[in-house]
Chains A and B, each alone.
Chain A
Amino acid sequence: MVETARQRLVAAILVLLLAALPALASLLAMPDLISLGTQVAIYAIATVGLNLLIGTTGLPSFGHAAFFGLGGYVVGILAFHAAEDSAVFGLFPGATDAWIVWPLAIIIAALAALLIGALSLRTAGVSFIMITLAFAQMLFYLFAALKTYGGDDGLGFRRRNALPWVSPRDDVAFYYVCAAALLLVLAGFHLVARSRFGNVLQGIRQSERRMAAIGLRSYRYKLAAFTLAGGVAGLAGALQANMLRFVSPDMLHWTTSGDFMVMVVLGGTGTLFGPVLGAAAMVLLQTWLAQWTEHWMIVMGPLLVAVILLARRGLWGALAGK
């Protein structure tokens, strides 16, 4: 995926840009870049996971927001109980330490993905798209109905999760946390894509029938990929909740799933850095176009069509070549 000299160069520039963004923001006197960069990193993390499903395995999951939202609500609910000093489900106390809350967000999102995947992956094609969408919408309505946790209005909390050596009020530090998480996720997925596991997923995308003919039971690998992607989305959701200090059912709404899919396609399906480009394009366009008109989708829509028609590997393909 990152093989030619040109691809290496573009990848290096992207990594440098991530590292230098705060410096750039102060140099250009554009402090907004920090929060935009944080949002890009978070969306990119979620999209890298979805790209493993859509791009590598050929599974068009339309319910990725469910795991993103679950990760967010783990942060929100634990913060809520910590602030109230009450117990979650009357069982255990709330928490605000990142080293407890974030792994928990990942685990719970992954478990939900395991369950939803176990059922959804018995179908394929359009049914798979619809069933993943349906599960995500079920969770959306569940959280919208949970009055204890704010229902429709969502749930705010005062402080970000505590990390050692990082001030919870320092936005630049939080940006670095998200950027570092993104780089870790990218490094991990780079290895996974070339591993035996990734090899099998690519085979499944190209011909599931052929994989059966050589003796592979593909279901378990698809389920593992679905679970992995769900866990990573959970991490992204936890970071998103921390960024805003607020969670709401919107995180689980189907339009969020749609945004993630758009980012995958826009950035370059099946490429390692495509999700970063896709997330950056989405966030920047949304921000800048929204200042200009509230009907920013009028520009975004045709742009997406153009990218799909003109660039075979999305923005990554346009920048780094095939």
Chain B
Amino acid sequence: MTPILLAAEVTKRFGGLLACNGLSLAVRPGEIHALIGPNGAGKSTAIGLLSGEIAPDSGSIRFGGADVTRLGIAARVRTGLTRSFQITTILPQFTALQNVALVAQVRAGHSFHFWADAHRDAALVDPARAMLERVGLGKRAQVPAEDLAHGEQRQLELAMALMTGARMLLLDEPMAGLGATESQQMTAQLAALKGSLTVLLVEHDMDAVAALADQVSVMVAGRVIATGSFAEMQASQAVRDAYLGAHA
């Protein structure tokens, strides 16, 4: 199957630090692909490069068959490649519903509409409400985002990412800071996306990776050294030496 996301020899240098050193990665449509590796391997930089937040020094990134190397974040989101988690918070003063409805609004085209009340626009509010139901936040729609619990804010972020109409989500540590129960809920929610959506996630929680990932890529010192199933990665001597040794 042709990969939906294909990074080829992507390099990024921050001053003297070579954060990504010829990163190559292929993600197939519909799979959940985990990017793991020791601290400082460049995983967050990789997500930044793939989402368009950081411009690479060299190399190319293709998404859905098109070259997106030179596109910024907003333009990549419009092609269906959306990053979520640990970007920043949601919009704290808007309610959960307003947050998601705003995503629906941006997706619906330009926002040069000056008169009609956007908060009563069924074309925006109805799909937003349905999306909140889908991630399990239906009852919290009218709560300002800053008053939501941490786990709920994560659910809201997921709802917003899905509302962009993403074909692929880039998730940077979706389990970070979540309690055991919240973590399990989030794992279940991500598992439910399998097949309908492609997901690349950076994650330290190996239980979540084992439960979710179809493919695992191991990143060490700015490049991917191996890709395969979780079991294959556990079995690989190179991976054990570099990273998994501590866990296995």
Residues of A within 8 A of B (CB): 191-192, 194-200, 202-203, 206-207, 209-217, 221, 224
Contacts and interface: CB of A to CB of B under 8 A. Distances in A.
B160 interface: yes
Interface residues of B, number: 36
Contacts of B105: 196, 199-200
Nearest to A209: B88
A209 B53 CA distance: 10
Nearest to A204: B91
B83 to A, nearest CB: 6
A200 B119 CA distance: 12
Contacts of B118: 194-196, 198-199
B164 interface: yes
B63 to A, nearest CB: 14
A207 to B, nearest CB: 5
A210 B88 contact: yes
A216 B74 contact: yes
Contacts of B111: 196-197, 199-200, 216, 221
Interface of B: 72-75, 77-78, 82-84, 87-94, 98, 102-103, 105-107, 111-119, 121, 160, 163-164
Nearest to A199: B118
A135 to B, nearest CB: 25
Given A196-B105, A210-B89, A213-B87, A202 B94 contact: yes
Nearest to A200: B111
Contacts of B116: 195-196
Contacts of B107: 214-215
Nearest to B76: A215
B89 A207 contact: yes
Contact of B93 (A191, A206, A221): A206
Nearest to A228: B114
B106 A191 contact: no
Given A207-B91, A214-B103, 6 more contacts: A196-B112, A199-B102, A209-B88, A211-B106, A213-B88, A216-B111
B91 A210 contact: yes
A-B pairs, top 9 by smallest CB distance, nearest first, are A215-B77, A196-B113, A206-B91, A196-B111, A200-B111, A196-B118, A212-B73, A199-B118, A194-B117
Contact of B113 (A197, A213, A216): A197
A214 B112 contact: no
A209 B93 CA distance: 15
A221 B72 CA distance: 17
A186 to B, nearest CB: 14
Contact of A214 (B77, B89, B115, B119): B77
Contact of B77 (A192, A195, A213): A213
Contacts of A200: 102, 105-106, 111
